[in-house]
Structure 1
Amino acid sequence: MTLLSIEGVSRKFGDVIALDEVSLDIRAGEFFALLGPSGCGKTTLLRILAGFEWPDRGAVRLDGADLLRQPPHRRPVNLMFQSYALFPHMTVAKNVAYGLEREGLPREEIKKRVGEVLAKVGLDTMAGRRPSQLSGGQQQRVALARAIVKRPRMLLLDEPLSALDKKVRAEMQLELKRLQVEVGITFVVVTHDQEEAMSLADRIAVMDNGRIEQVDAPIALYDRPRTRFVADFIGANNLFTGTITGNGFEVPGLGYLPCKPELPNGLAVLAVRPERVRLGDPGRGAADGIVADVSFFGGISHIAVDVSGHDRKVLAATQGAARITPGAAVGLFWNPDDAVLVPA
């Protein structure tokens, strides 16, 4: 069931096009991510949903009602800021209760709802502390509790984990997902972190230059990108530009590469993930090369191969420590089913 419908939303700042005819449907109860590089328009779209920006044209509907006609404080939407924006002079409980007090709810109702939400985020024993007495992860939970205590239909999160170190961020990714399922609120998160989006979201909209490149589940985005940008932006990929002909996919300087040519004849880009590339004896594979570098990342090794006639190193990934050294001559192999063709 669609909760939020975005139809042809555009926004310009002077000569800069921030959003260009963006259309999206976000389902009730899902964790949805807007993913893209800086300046792609994802934060502008989030601010339009929150009511801090207005589009030049287009429509936004929540449960069929025109969201753009409602002022920010009347929208059943809440925004969790990147900086958390906690009141330093207030306790945790007072920070969480602030929005409810502004609405004039009865004191007992406020106390009950604050207690329930602090228990959900694991901070019920810290209700009397001030933000300065909390860790970064705990402050993030307070900000989350303050956002969901008002029971919005949708929660917007702007780079919610960017201020945390890597280990705490990984823990909070799991926590955010658990809380989203538990409270049953639709979450829309803006991030430039692929790993964050892939681990959190049910579906992801990949954006570039104010446009939606692809909307899909994380696995589908990774395995079956539909554009060159998505293939290059999501994870590591080996890209080969060539031409689809009646005989297959031909790359200048390399010849025909293994794939299933499912696109019409013409220019295209072949994408092969590093973990799909196998190394073997030269002279028998899709191409030959010389190992340029071997990097160990704890559990996985990346092997960069120089291939004559190709302007980028080809990357292969293998489990554990690689049993190969720089300077070795190798052949590159992959299954045609593991290669994806996208329009050039």
Structure 2
Amino acid sequence: MLQITGVSRRFGDVTALADVSLEIRQGEFFALLGPSGCGKTTLLRILAGFESPDSGTVTLDGADLLGQAAHRRPVNLMFQSYALFPHMTVAKNVAYGLERERLSKAEIRDRVGEVLAKVGLEQMAGRRPQQLSGGQRQRVALARAIVKRPRLLLLDEPLSALDKKVRAEMQLELKRLQHEVGITFVVVTHDQEEAMSLADRIAVFNAGRVEQVDEPVALYERPRTPFTAGFVGASNLFAGRACSAGLAADGLGVLPGVSDLPDGTPALLAVRPERLRLDGEQGQGVLRGEVADVSFYGGVSHVSVAVPGRAEPVLVATPGATQVRAGTRVALSWAPGDGALVPQ
């Protein structure tokens, strides 16, 4: 539905976007994920019509999007701050865009009622924004964005103002709503959990470039660049050269992994903390070391293991509370399929 081809944007000496190309499908929940300053919000502003690229094209359903004025585009942007009118009621905030289009009062009333029911705020229609919680204000902003039935809805860090519990609830709400209304959502976030839980596909951005586009599970299980391996989720990264059994790492020997890289290729081996098995010192292990630290997070414990020949500790995630204590000698192992090789 949306085709972005070779889009670049510079601000003086700073390159915000460098030859970005993406395809976003009809009805998809698509996430732009990356650290602050990587160019994802600049791309969102170009789609909304608030910025113009220095080069490149953007088409929506085959028609040129960049040639249309911002208010003429079938695109809506939900701001990070929500930008609600404090002097208007919830219903008036939601109706504002429809009133600007000079629709009949009956149609406005019907569409506002319908969308407030979808976001569960029909009982709050007469309240002002300051009388609502953060989660409720977020729903009003969402209702106002979808009531105009755009082809494409852009969301800039939509949940960043919410606390953790409300945020988790709103992630489910956003996903449900997106399926219900059938609008294509493009969300900008630096929160990996948010991107993973919401998106059908994710584009990982770094310094104005797209590192990898994939479904969440594929992105997590099989990162294709060093940046993706380090940025998406926690990973233990080992440097060395690809070999038939995995990775030949200096000072650590051959570490098990799966790849299609030619032997001798400089590579990183990425192993997720939850894929490592922790055994006593006498157990079978790929690596051996000493427990440096144990942290308990409720559902999971993080165990840091200092391994001779490696500068950084190896992180192991185990379910629930662990009996392992700092100073214990342990053996670490993982299956070859749990190690992903990434060319350096």
> What TM-score bracket applies, with the shorter chain setting the length?
over 0.9
Aligned to 1:125: 123
Counterpart pick for 1:104 among 81, 102, 105: 102
- Contact (CA 8 Å) 1:11, 1:17: kept in 2 or not? yes
Aligned to 1:290: 290
Deviation at 1:247?
6.6
Long gaps (5+) in structure 1: none
Matches within 5 A, 1:49-68: 49-68=47-66
> Match of 1:286, as an amino acid?
V
Aligned to 1:146: 144
Aligned to 2:14: 16
1:200-244 deviations in whole A, cap 9, x for unaligned?
Answer: 000000000101111011001010110111111011100000012
Aligned to 1:231: 229
Long gaps (5+) in structure 2: none
CA RMSD of aligned residues (A): 1.0
1:84-112 deviations in whole A, cap 9, x for unaligned?
Answer: 00000000000000001111111111111
Work out the number of aligned pairs and report it. Answer: 342
> Match of 1:126, as an amino acid?
M
Distance in 2 (alpha carbons) for counterparts of 1:261 and 1:272:
13
1:54-74 deviations in whole A, cap 9, x for unaligned?
Answer: 000000000000000000000
2:329 maps to 1:329: yes
SS at match of 2:37: coil
- The more displaced of 259-268 and 108-117 is 259-268
Deviation at 1:125?
0.8
2:273 maps to 1:274: yes
TM-score w.r.t. structure 2 length? 0.98
- Contact (CA 8 Å) 1:92, 1:131: kept in 2 or not? yes
Counterpart pick for 1:199 among 193, 197, 206: 197
> Match of 1:71, as an amino acid?
A
SS at match of 2:66: helix
TM-score w.r.t. structure 1 length? 0.98
Distance in 1 (alpha carbons) for counterparts of 2:261 and 2:95:
56
SS at match of 1:142: helix
- Contact (CA 8 Å) 2:299, 2:320: kept in 1 or not? yes
Aligned to 1:78: 76
- Contact (CA 8 Å) 1:249, 1:261: kept in 2 or not? no
> Match of 2:158, as an amino acid?
P
Identical pairs, percent? 72
Aligned to 1:317: 317
1:102-131 deviations in whole A, cap 9, x for unaligned?
Answer: 111111111111010011101111110000
Deviation at 1:286?
1.2
Aligned to 2:342: 342
